[in-house]
Structure 1
């Protein structure tokens, strides 16, 4: 069901080719309208293990969002979390800090997101934006939908060092309420101590 005043978008996740560029299936104005609309997750947070390569143990929660009381299967909130861990490579012991992200998707498109991790991000879209083609070394960054679509990010300073802090930052900007409130992914779990 489209938002008021917006035409229904095709369900095909492929983009429309324009010479060597692709036109996203959703415009910046449509994204801004969706972000401005009050939303609530359709279900309370229940963290589930997310399969990953190696020994990284990710947990994920995903839910469609309610807009004006209607569940929108095409508007999805997703949050992922990986706890701090120690990796051993030969004689080297490497401490990896927590990593987490929160995202709002419309169809297949990540229209808004906030990430905290130790990887670098370089924006390959958003040629008119200040962070275009600049590597972001900051631990936290915010993904913003631009005319070319997804893939543009700006630093968030100071860094959002906990998943709770990231959620406090993300939720008002996405105009999203969590049914049942926020539940930390480690709540009720025994944490393994490394001696």
Structure 2
């Protein structure tokens, strides 16, 4: 399985893993490695299209057992995680859960990032959806929830693909 994963990574091809797959991986930890975690599969596709070789895990919404198994193995091997989600209440709650469970850092999830992405979406005439649901606090940035309430708009990861791919190019 590890060989197959390496080959797919060299080809810049995303891989969908199952719990069964993870049970067959022989982990060779790389302490200090960096892996980015996103919510939307479109981020992974954009990274692959751009030929990125950065470590990127997609939760496809809320993290499942497979995602938690993978992230736990990575963290136990010394990998540093950077996590993000959509700028909607569900995305903020998802990031909060990941930051609570893992020693991770938020990735472009500050109030300033949110405001920048709202303005970019407006400049590009990208349709924005109204922010719905129950407001969530963001322990990593106390200004995020008030900013989101003020603008009242949800911003999905797809509207920031160029910024996210740029981050993957310039990763630490």
Bin for the TM-score computed over the shorter chain: under 0.3
**More strand by proportion, 1 or 2?**
1
TM (normalized to structure 1)? Answer: 0.23
**More helix by proportion, 1 or 2?**
2
TM (normalized to structure 2)? Answer: 0.25
